[in-house]
Amino acid sequence: MAKKRKEIKKRLLLVAHGDFDGIASAVLASWRHPLEDVRVVFVQPFTVDKVEVADDEDVIVVDVAVNNRDPKMTTDFISRLGGRLYRWFDHHRGWESLKIDDRFVINSDAPSCAQVVMSSSQDGDMEYYFGTLMVDATAADTRQGTLSKKADLIERATKADLSDDSVREAAFRWLLGDKSKLSVLEAAAEKYAAIQAETERLSATYRVTGNVAVVDARESEHNYDRTQLLLAGQKVAPFAVVVSANPRAGEDYLTIATSRKDVNLVEIFGLPSGAPFRVSIPASRLEEALGKLNSL
């Protein structure tokens, strides 16, 4: 069967979000390409301006949303890629106002980008080889369901040091069959065990007042997993608040999360942007936050 679309060049650059869904989507989008000709970089929507692309590379972007604080950064990136952009797969909202062509495969209703990549593939073998990976990506992105052993190892390994992209790359290559990367993931996952222990220690120190569980993590001398800590708080109260130190900016801050679907934390705290179920505000607003959350 003749293919009308342009063929991918020898060298492929994947630009992926750094979470499990991003890694899984990168795997799905590139698995037929020789691994030695693939380069992968991990980004956030607000770091795409840093991506360097070689002239002889074609680019596939996966699970990267429009930078909603600065959509021009996204459109600038798209223009800079020019003809080198081969596909952009995503499942976030925010594309409605952008002018995009048929290289963009966007489905804002999909629970994961991995599902978008798989649904748009003509490759009948993909589901056979990577069906579990897609289910894992959806479970990881929606925080529903349980992860397979492989996915759980990757989740723990990549959480050990969120600034370390080499672990993400190892996960990417391991999922594509490079067995030598397993030891990298296992070593990182072991580091995560210490983080988990500190998270559990802090979880036991939540104090509940009415609707709100508060934990003070400022004195913690170890790394902890803030997302897991917030989830532990939401088991004992509808709202969880973590008080954290911010060594860089100096000012302590609060991270507030809720499982209540009828509440929009961005609106309640008058913030310019953020997720309705999780926001960060200066710690000086703690009394105000307790008052507001307890009146809901």
Q: How far is the CB of 265 from Mn ion (least distance, A)?
A: 21
- The residues, any chain, with a CB within 8 Å of residue 25's CB and separated by 6 or more, are 16, 17, 62, 63, 89, 112, 113, 114, 116, 117, 137
Q: How far is the CB of 59 from Mn ion (least distance, A)?
A: 18
Residues counted in the chain: 296
Q: How far is the CB of 70 from Mn ion (least distance, A)?
A: 20
Give the interface segment with Mn ion, choosing from 21-29, 80-88, 97-105, 121-129 (CB under 5 A): 21-29
Give the interface segment with Mn ion, choosing from 13-21, 64-72, 73-81, 233-241 (CB under 5 A): 13-21
Query: Quick check: 196 and 225 in contact, CB under 8 A?
Result: yes
Q: 13 vs 113, which CB is nearer to Mn ion?
A: 113
| 141 is an interface residue for Mn ion by CB under 5 A | yes
Give the interface segment with Mn ion, choosing from 134-142, 153-161, 211-219, 223-231 (CB under 5 A): 134-142
Number of C-alpha atoms within 13 angstroms, CB side, residue 51? Answer: 31
| 225 is an interface residue for Mn ion by CB under 5 A | no
Query: Quick check: 269 and 241 in contact, CB under 8 A?
Result: no
Amino acid at 123: D
Q: How far apart are CA 136 and CA 49, in angstroms?
A: 29
# chain residues binding Mn ion, by CB under 5 A: 4
Give the interface segment with Mn ion, choosing from 136-144, 212-220, 258-266, 281-289 (CB under 5 A): 136-144
| 3-state SS track over 17-31 | ECCHHHHHHHHHHHC
Question: Binding Mn ion by CB under 5 A: which of 12, 13, 18, 21?
Answer: 21
- Which residue, chain included where needed, has tokens 């991003």? 22
Q: How far apart are CA 79 and CA 194, in angstroms?
A: 44
Q: 29 vs 202, which CB is nearer to Mn ion?
A: 29
Q: Which of residues 30-69 bind Mn ion (CB under 5 A)?
A: 63
Q: 138 vs 199, which CB is nearer to Mn ion?
A: 138
| 136 is an interface residue for Mn ion by CB under 5 A | no
Question: Which tokens go with 85?
Answer: 């952009």
Residues that bind Mn ion (CB under 5 A): 21, 63, 113, 141
